[in-house]
Structure 1
Amino acid sequence: MRFGFLITFALTLTLPVAAVAQSLGGLGSTDSFTFSLSPQYPTPHSQATLSFVSGSVDLANATVAVSVAGKNIYNGSVQPLAIALGGAGSLTTIKVIVTSNATNYSQTLTVQPQDVALVVEPISSAPPLYPGKSLVPLEGSVRVVAVAHVRSAGGKVFDPSALSYTWTIDGTQIINSSGIGKETVIVASPLQYRARKVSVAVTSQDGNLAGGASLSLTAALPSVRIYENDPLLGILYDRALSGAFTIRGAEVTLYAAPFSLPTTNGTPLMQWFLNGTAAQTGNFITLRPTGSGKGNASLSLVASSDTSTKVTTNLSLLFGATAGSNFFGL
């Protein structure tokens, strides 16, 4: 899944932040300011940004002291700070003390990152044995799979099928596709030149562990390629035919390979046209020039799905050319 025509790019996010406000003896009110980490689901071994907001404390004229796991990492003016996080399931405790007008305000935040990734599997066409992946199809569908590696602080790894998955598409929660063990969702492709956001929240059944991931899908134009099918070597995938093609023997067989056409309701239809007249359907066509002398013809190929998505390619055929005089007759 890491190689392909269009690599599914996967955004990996992690489990959310569990915050506990905590007052220290003799200090000011804990609700005088709030702070948060972004992104909401930071990845393991990453850095998250700590930000501060207050409606009652003048943060512009205040100072802040920040400690992580009991170690002081910052003293100074109030500003966003980068916080280094540990591995999946590890606990990182962040303590913040804001000082304003000789009064201290304290809060504590505990972060437990988890590893959640999304894998995109376009439901679209690609040639057999193609070593890559097709693109997100226009007017088609995409399968999105959540790969969750959730563990407790003690190192216990949770079975992904026992976790609860909440899917959201363009801000709308998909109830029917959400629930325990529902690691996969089928998403309709976005319109051309638009994007579709897919996100998932993953939680343990007791709600103590949670994580998430999101990505943006964009659809790409489909394409169809014509290759020569050599009697000995098979389909010559290393060179797609375009422009003009010379038929040097008594016959030639060509193969049509559709890329990224929707396959939700079946394989795409291949329709060949010779000089504007429908010749045959299917991925293969065999051409046999007749008569004597040189000539030319136009070959067109229309690939279509069960939707209105179509793609066309054209080839100019030359035949009856004089063979070369080298040793191999080429």
Structure 2
Amino acid sequence: MRTFLYLGLFFVLFPILSHAQTATLLWETQTYTPPFYKGASLYSDGGTIYAEVYVSNSSYSKESMSYKWIKDGVVLGSLSGVGKSSLITSGPRFLGDYILEVKVSDPEGIEFTSSALLIETKDPKIVFYETDPLLGSLFHRSIKSNGDFPNSSQIQAIPYFLSTQSIHSELLSYSWNLNGKSVAGVGNTPSFLSMRVEGEDSSVLNVSLSVAHSQNFLQDARGRLNLTIEGNSRRSLFGL
């Protein structure tokens, strides 16, 4: 008798659970990452959040359902309403975070599912890569400090998670520094830096870079590393 009771409960509950209407909230931000980057773009201070909710196993179209968007407990009235399954809104400020929530109602106004997530601010960062005359930038292997390089080497710096579609955008300004002195990047591609030691002895170069966003003072990426460059026949540092 007990076995039949359990089986009966299973067959009653299974159709209900298998057709549960659940909401999945997804978001993204349009910050820069290099080609073939396998991770997600992370949100940095002052950027924009793009969010959309998907409701599974619903008999209603997404256009007929009503959506109430809530940011840290505050209802976003102008962004909520019938058919508003997605939104564009500002992200957290000053290295903060917030909870973004959406409540979904049927055409009669009865709420039946919801979803929420935490959006956090991440600092932009700079990663340095070696370049090859034939292969270009070697994005599969970043440069670590205290690396050894042949003379006339070139590196590229990638500022991750800045609000731009191109690292050579006019919105970004690059400030390179070699051994305490300001130097320029390579022409119209300021993310590249050429280095050469003219002298028989190798030389250790202290390389630092800051990248600022002209329309968002909260986005500022910085990076530094030490490189040993092989020498040749003369004794002066190129560009210094």
Give the TM-score category using the shorter length: 0.7 to 0.9
| 1:272 aligned partner, one-letter code | W
Change (3 A) 1:269 1:118: farther
**2:36 matched residue in structure 1:** 129
Contact 2:45 2:95 in 1 (8 A): no
Q: Once the 2 structures are TM-superposed, how far is the Cα of residue 84 of structure 1 from its aligned partner?
A: 8.9
Change (3 A) 1:286 1:162: farther
RMSD: 3.0
2:73 is the counterpart of 1:168: no
2:225 is the counterpart of 1:315: yes
Report SS of the residue matched to 2:60.
Answer: coil
Among 211, 224, 227, the residue aligned to 1:303: 211
Query: After superposition, what is the alpha-carbon deviation per residue over 1:93-117, rounded to whole angstroms, capped at 9, x for unaligned?
Result: xxxxxxxxxxxxxxxxxxxx41211
Among 136, 139, 159, the residue aligned to 2:46: 139
| 1:278 aligned partner, one-letter code | V
Contact 1:123 1:137 in 2 (8 A): no
Structure 1 unmatched ranges of 5 or more: 1-69, 72-82, 91-112, 152-156, 323-330
Alignment partners' CA distance in 1, 2:48 and 2:165: 7
Q: Once the 2 structures are TM-superposed, how far is the Cα of residue 214 of structure 1 from its aligned partner?
A: 0.9
Q: Once the 2 structures are TM-superposed, how far is the Cα of residue 292 of structure 1 from its aligned partner?
A: 4.0
Alignment partners' CA distance in 1, 2:116 and 2:162: 25
Alignment partners' CA distance in 2, 1:227 and 1:233: 12
| 1:143 aligned partner, one-letter code | Y
Q: Which has the higher contact order (CA 8 A, sep 6+)?
A: 2
| 1:214 aligned partner, one-letter code | A
Runs of 4+ in 1 over 4 A off after TM superposition: 264-268
Among 178, 182, 198, the residue aligned to 1:277: 182
2:158 is the counterpart of 1:257: yes
Query: After superposition, what is the alpha-carbon deviation per residue over 1:15-62, rounded to whole angstroms, capped at 9, x for unaligned?
Result: xxxxxxxxxxxxxxxxxxxxxxxxxxxxxxxxxxxxxxxxxxxxxxxx
How is 1:1-330 mapped onto 2 (pairs within 5 angstroms)? 86-87=16-17, 90=19, 113-151=20-58, 157-191=59-93, 194-207=96-109, 210-249=112-151, 251-263=152-164, 268-275=172-179, 276-280=181-185, 282-305=190-213, 306-308=215-217, 309-321=219-231
**2:236 matched residue in structure 1:** none
Alignment partners' CA distance in 2, 1:319 and 1:262: 33
Change (3 A) 1:192 1:273: same
Query: After superposition, what is the alpha-carbon deviation per residue over 1:129-152, rounded to whole angstroms, capped at 9, x for unaligned?
Result: 21211222123222222122252x
Q: Once the 2 structures are TM-superposed, how far is the Cα of residue 223 of structure 1 from its aligned partner?
A: 1.1
Report SS of the residue matched to 1:123.
Answer: coil
| 1:258 aligned partner, one-letter code | P
Query: After superposition, what is the alpha-carbon deviation per residue over 1:64-100, rounded to whole angstroms, capped at 9, x for unaligned?
Result: xxxxxx96xxxxxxxxxxx999336x5xxxxxxxxxx
Change (3 A) 1:144 1:264: farther
TM-score (structure 2 length as normaliser):
0.75
Structure with a larger share of its residues in helix:
2
Report SS of the residue matched to 2:63.
Answer: helix
Alignment partners' CA distance in 2, 1:264 and 1:188: 18
Q: How many residues align?
A: 213
Change (3 A) 1:264 1:85: farther
| 1:316 aligned partner, one-letter code | N
| 2:178 aligned partner, one-letter code | L
Structure 2 unmatched ranges of 5 or more: 1-7, 233-240
Query: After superposition, what is the alpha-carbon deviation per residue over 1:210-249, rounded to whole angstroms, capped at 9, x for unaligned?
Result: 3211112121222110001122333222322132233314
TM-score (structure 1 length as normaliser):
0.56
Contact 2:197 2:231 in 1 (8 A): no
Q: Once the 2 structures are TM-superposed, how far is the Cα of residue 288 of structure 1 from its aligned partner?
A: 3.3
